[in-house]
Structure 1
Amino acid sequence: MYLINGRQQAFLAADDRAVQFGDGCFTTARIVDGNICLFAAHLARLQEGCSRLAIPFDRWDELRQEMSSLAAGQAHGVLKVILSRGSGGRGYATGGCGAPGRVLSVTARPDHYARWREQGVALALSPVRLGRNPLLAGIKHLNRLEQVLIRRHLEQTGADEALVLDSEGWVTECCAANLFWRKGNRVWTPRLDQAGVNGVMRQFCLRRLEQSPFQVMETQAREADFARADEAIVCNALMPVIPVRAYGERRFSSRALFNFLAPLCEHPNSL
């Protein structure tokens, strides 16, 4: 089901800048018992994306109501919200654009997450690297061609997810998830000020880890640093937290970090 600018329809104008240039941002939220998990955080992500991209979206109360209405009555599902600069302008110029647009949809939650949670996932190093760009780093904009290429390569391996480096070789994220790893009681996650997506679940995990016995740090790390970890997990708003069982020949058997975070992330505050 699609809701585009408040109307049930499945077509977006060909001159919308989301189509023409990927000029917009989005978020993807988990629905549990009719509630949107981490609702406020998803709205904050969209607000930051619009601010960073200078998209003058101002119908936040209306958007909040539409999101709530679509989630209501859904026992489990996925809510995706896209905000576009709208139609208009000439070439890349934004002058003359109409009102920003919004696209909402609800789909089923992927079935394989339950299996991944029990078995863990295997990671493969991706040959596709993320370009460094501090102007866009962190936000979930609509330009996802790097992830499309990462996923295309991943499908040619036997792995479940990819370990993704940036163009200078720093560990950054996975194809569709953020990454944490642990050695002893110290936990690391990549800095995302140059590349990558600062996921809603990543932010939630960081807040919980700051109040835990673990010492957490955002860092720049090489692939070899990650490979020496005692444990690793991946996370996103839908999973929400999954243990890593293997990276190449490296096997991870400990689940101390996963066992701490999983119960907290399974039913986070839905308000």
Structure 2
Amino acid sequence: MKEVWINDVKDSVIDPADRALAYGDGLFATMKVKQGQIQFLEQHLRRLSDGAARLGFAFSAGGALLFRLNELATLNPDACIKLLLSRGSGGRGYTAPKSPVPLVILSVSPLPSHYVQWQQKGIGLCKSAVALGRQPLLAGVKHLNRLEQVLIKAQSLPQGIDDVWVCDSDGFLVEGSMGNLLLISDKQVLTPALSFAGVSGVMREQVIHSLLAMGLNVTMGQVTESELLQADHVLMTNSLMGAVPVTRLEDRALTIWPRLSELQQLI
């Protein structure tokens, strides 16, 4: 059973009128604990603050929250910590309260055991039958409205396929169901700009910085499916699995990028 803290009270309960439950009005971060340290904690907290500002309420991590996060990391030295941030309760219908009191939920769970194998051997992808809606006001934000992802995950996968790539309603590549995608050809890297849909992942940011340090050129823009299918190498990234090679795109086999181990060491 997961260990759960609600506003720094262990095994507490959430108000049924909380806006996270009623409307998905909030954000979340999924953070990896490695050897008792939360990786990229500052970046995760900054993204939560930026996302809250885009939704119209303020959030900053105070001393009590930082203490609890560090304590949980010490007690669970190799685990996953999820921080869910709700606007809280109140307001009338969809209209948000003028002075919200945000709610923070922390939970701890084991890291997926198969991610280590994925990092070494890679994964296969096929196309999702579900397209993401284009909404620039929410694009990039890791908000709680995940019904599109629920529908995406309901798709049955063929043998040898581990995840899907997802396009938006205009047919442009956005991401995988579990992470961001980066296409590598020679010393050029192309990744979707996420201006209309998708989540701008913390690991994506770190990987881009590392690729630049390795001397590669990184371009963000609209990416077509044909560009994905013609890429020499493809990576999927998220905060728990790091950078994972894609070794199959439906019926096409891909090789693992020769410099992947160098990138994995940098991040």
TM-score (norm 2): 0.95
Residues 96-135 of structure 1 aligned to structure 2 (within 5 Å):
98-135=100-137
Kindly state the Cα deviation for residue 104 of structure 1 after the two structures are TM-superposed. 0.3
1:190–1:221 CA contact under 8 A, matched in 2: yes
> What letter is aligned with 1:129?
A
Kindly state the Cα deviation for residue 59 of structure 1 after the two structures are TM-superposed. 4.9
Equivalent position of 2:17 in the other structure: 15
Runs of at least 5 residues in structure 2 that lack an aligned partner in the other structure: none
Kindly state the Cα deviation for residue 225 of structure 1 after the two structures are TM-superposed. 0.9
Larger deviation: 209-218 or 24-33?
209-218
> What letter is aligned with 1:95?
P
Q: In structure 2, do the counterparts of structure 1 residues 167 and 88 end up closer, same or farther at CA, with 3 Å as the change threshold?
A: same
Kindly state the Cα deviation for residue 185 of structure 1 after the two structures are TM-superposed. 1.3
- Provide the rounded CA distance (Å) in 2 between the counterparts of 1:201 and 1:257: 17
> What letter is aligned with 1:157?
P
Kindly state the Cα deviation for residue 90 of structure 1 after the two structures are TM-superposed. 1.2
1:150 aligns with 2:152: yes
Runs of at least 5 residues in structure 1 that lack an aligned partner in the other structure: 266-271
Identity of aligned residues (%): 37
Kindly state the Cα deviation for residue 71 of structure 1 after the two structures are TM-superposed. 1.0
Residues 1-271 of structure 1 aligned to structure 2 (within 5 Å):
1-95=3-97, 98-153=100-155, 155-158=156-159, 159-265=161-267
- Provide the rounded CA distance (Å) in 1 between the counterparts of 2:87 and 2:72: 22
Secondary structure of 2:75's match?
Answer: coil
1:199-243: CA deviation from partner (whole Å, max 9, x where unpaired): 000000111122222111112111111111111110100001111
2:31–2:239 CA contact under 8 A, matched in 1: yes
- Provide the rounded CA distance (Å) in 2 between the counterparts of 1:11 and 1:104: 12
Secondary structure of 2:154's match?
Answer: helix
> What letter is aligned with 2:158?
T
1:157-198: CA deviation from partner (whole Å, max 9, x where unpaired): 332111110110111100010001111111111111111100
Secondary structure of 2:31's match?
Answer: strand
- Provide the rounded CA distance (Å) in 1 between the counterparts of 2:265 and 2:60: 36
1:88–1:97 CA contact under 8 A, matched in 2: no
Secondary structure of 1:63's match?
Answer: helix
